Chain A
Amino acid sequence: MRDVAIIGQGMTKFGELWERSLRQLVTEAGLAAVKDAGVPGDRIDAMYVGSMSAGRFVGQEHVGALVVDEAGLAHHHIPSTRIEAADASGGVALRQGYLAVASGDADVVVVGGVEKMTDVIDQEQTNTLATVLDQEWEAFFGATFPSVYALMAQRHAHKYGTTAAQLAAVSVKNHEHGAMNPNAAYPFAITKDAVLKSPMVADPLRMLDCAANLDGAAAVVLCAADKVAEFTRKDRAVKILASHQASDTLAMHDRASITELAATKHAAKRAYERARLTPADIDVAEVHDAFTIAEILAIEDLGFYAKGSGGAAAEKGLTSWKGEKPVNTSGGLKARGHPPGATGVAQAAEIVQQLRGEAGKRQVADAEIGLAHNVGGSGGTAVVTIFGRMK
């Protein structure tokens, strides 16, 4: 396999983007990434796009052809593939793009992720999000996306004593980070008290424990590491050191434990092995905080903190951008926003900015190694990607 680098990144601001359509969003992000990379259109060999549910949200399938067409590249007849893996769609798309370049099939690949959620009413958003669960055994009986994570939070609290205040600390920290990210949907700080007093969604998860339903797109440009110099300076390239994906049972009740995501653990283990790194080597991480409990599970399952101690780590501020293990410097899914298909790609875009030293106010000093962790549904899919600065 060849070495692969990211040479460009771009994203739209995330938010309730009432005036813009799915195609406008993905094209805006794609053009920004291509411009950042300095890649001319005729050098793009393939495209991948992550989209969780364009069919239900905007009635548009065949998103692969759509993005090539909107990019003005239809007459180049390059392959373009839409990837669906619930809210890990973006992360899986990134991995497919990586494999295409690593295999030698393509030299330059554009990977996008997009979701346009706000064209449907709230109930339809909730119903569509529940399609990431097991329809026959979970959603049919009334389970919603927040409710399954609430069960994980309940169990985590029961087993390890994780408190509502510890959950709230995750949200407060991610908003503090989001306030420094111009592309964040919610670029403002919130207090612990505000989280603890926000309306209950699914006990113990309150409104401000949950990532909101939003619109947005992100894109990155991948390039064979030995061809980077043709397009950009080496110090603007970020190498993908490892990318692994793992699966688990679709329904949560079939798992041996619900205080961990086994898919995350497996993907992380293999990614660390491939990159010859350990959790201690990670300088900055973007993890999948669809709910505050999800970030606590993630920092444990990724090996940053021992099982059961994630809540305490969050509360002590260890995962702040100024802390020992900066997590979700972008604001995470909570404050940057979570348009499902876009999230995995936006995470990569954040890590690229951090490793390039272009993350502005939220820059983590001397970040050399970064990690992105993207989860589909309640953990049926997880992708872990490790990035390093080009030496």
Chain B
Amino acid sequence: MTVGIVSYGAAIPRYRIKSEEIARVWGEDPDSIKKGLNVHEKTVPSPDQDTTTLSVEAARVAIKRGRFDPKTIGAIYVGSESHVYAVKPTATILSEAIEASPYLTAADFEFACKAGTAAIQTCVGLVGAGMIERGLAVGADTSQGAPGDALEYSASAGAAAFVIGRERVIASINHTVSYTTDTPDFWRREGQRYPTHGGRFTGEPSYFRHVQAASERLMERADMKPASYQYAVFHQPNGKFPIRVAQKLGFNEPQFKTGLLTPIIGNTYSGSSVLGLCAILDEAKPGDRIFMCAYGSGAGADAFDITVTDEIRNLHREGTPTMKQLIDDKEYVDYATYAKFRGKIIKGASA
């Protein structure tokens, strides 16, 4: 039985801020920021956009494209590290918004930047076991970066939604492998406004170790080599790590360029690798093999071996935006507007 992606949808804010603008405010050298992080601009959520609304927007696109009755969805999982409520699920709001049936199981996931792929894995399991017909997995974030911190150049917003099922599968998920350890490279404690990161510790012992371990085991299990894939996409905390890890593993630019979005939209955290996958599914052809590896701090990596099927030709794309259209539809804001939108300006009690 083939289990895989039945449909997908993406959503990102249309507001953008350039790295130069952030660097200008903090007196940093924009060229060394752009060179150091390979992030040129990032999305900025408007005051009315949050993890919930972005999840709804992405899920609605997926349902529209899939042309199925949302009442057939048996599970909804939303992965994010910026759920609007600390207690009260995003998944319940999403389920009502897409008019799903109340007879479903739902929960919010958190695993730093890989909660969305953890949601996909869970849905693959439930569908594969025959417990549900379809599952909806979402990775969404409006991530936080403290003013003046290096994260401020990358932390952005976006969501990707995937309907997982066994009928009309457009991309089969052949294998998935995870690698998980207790590695404290990035965290935000209860009540803290902004996360703390371990600087260079986030690199070699964290991102690279986990992504490489999961990726290598996946290719071993799938009996695949990097050259056998048409596409490869990785978690993209900045524009440099994914390129480095791709090259270390043996992938080359034609394979990873389509899914590499962080340089132009920033790090969308739980949306990062899966929005890259959306960009790939926008152009992939039947028979194409896709390699994906997500990474979440704390830490873990989820790797996937995916095959695009003939069914992708039947996806109803009309009236839904491609990733490229979402990226091209943009309006720049200055730092002051960005600070206002992101709630970084604390107003007086009388205001």
Contacts and interface: CB of A to CB of B under 8 A. Distances in A.
Interface of A: 16, 18-19, 118, 121-122, 198-200
Given A18-B205, A19-B205, A199 B200 contact: no
Contacts of B205: 18-19
B250 interface: no
B32 A200 contact: yes
21 contacts: A16-B200, A16-B201, A16-B204, A18-B201, A18-B204, A18-B205, A19-B205, A118-B200, A118-B201, A121-B196, A121-B197, A121-B198, A121-B199, A122-B199, A122-B200, A198-B32, A199-B29, A199-B32, A199-B36, A200-B29, A200-B32
A19 B204 CA distance: 11
A309 to B, nearest CB: 32
A221 to B, nearest CB: 33
Q: 6 closest pairs, A vs B, by CB?
A: A122-B199, A199-B32, A18-B205, A121-B199, A121-B198, A200-B29
B134 to A, nearest CB: 42
A198 B198 CA distance: 22
Contacts of A198: 32
Nearest to B203: A16
Task: Give chain B's interface secondary structure class.
Answer: helix
Contacts of B200: 16, 118, 122
A197 to B, nearest CB: 9
Contacts of A121: 196-199
B180 to A, nearest CB: 18
Residue with the highest number of chain B CB atoms closer than 10 Å, among A18, A121, A122: A18
Interface of B: 29, 32, 36, 196-201, 204-205
Nearest to A17: B205
A18 B207 CA distance: 13
B147 to A, nearest CB: 14
Contacts of B201: 16, 18, 118
A16 B200 CA distance: 9
Nearest to A207: B32
B158 to A, nearest CB: 27
Nearest to B199: A122
A122 to B, nearest CB: 4
B195 to A, nearest CB: 12
Contacts of A122: 199-200
A16 B201 CA distance: 9
A327 B243 CA distance: 37
A359 B201 CA distance: 32
A388 to B, nearest CB: 40
Contacts of B198: 121
Nearest to A206: B32
Nearest to B198: A121
Given A16-B201, A18-B205, 18 more contacts: A16-B200, A16-B204, A18-B201, A18-B204, A19-B205, A118-B200, A121-B196, A121-B197, A121-B198, A121-B199, A122-B199, A122-B200, A198-B32, A199-B29, A199-B32, A199-B36, A200-B29, A200-B32
Nearest to B33: A199
Nearest to A123: B199
A73 to B, nearest CB: 32
A118 B204 CA distance: 13
Contacts of B196: 121
Contacts of B197: 121
A200 B197 CA distance: 22
A55 B333 CA distance: 45
Nearest to A16: B200
A266 B227 CA distance: 63
Residue with the highest number of chain A CB atoms closer than 10 Å, among B196, B197, B205: B205
Nearest to A200: B29
A349 to B, nearest CB: 26
B145 to A, nearest CB: 15
A68 B32 CA distance: 46
A200 B35 CA distance: 13
Nearest to A199: B32
Nearest to B205: A18
A82 B188 CA distance: 36
Contacts of B199: 121-122
B50 to A, nearest CB: 28
B351 to A, nearest CB: 32
Contacts of A199: 29, 32, 36
Contacts of A18: 201, 204-205
Contacts of A19: 205
Contacts of B29: 199-200
B193 to A, nearest CB: 17
B199 to A, nearest CB: 4
A245 B205 CA distance: 40
Nearest to A213: B200
A122 B197 CA distance: 9
Nearest to A119: B201
A121 B199 CA distance: 6
A1 B200 CA distance: 48
A198 B36 CA distance: 10
A154 to B, nearest CB: 18
Contacts of A118: 200-201
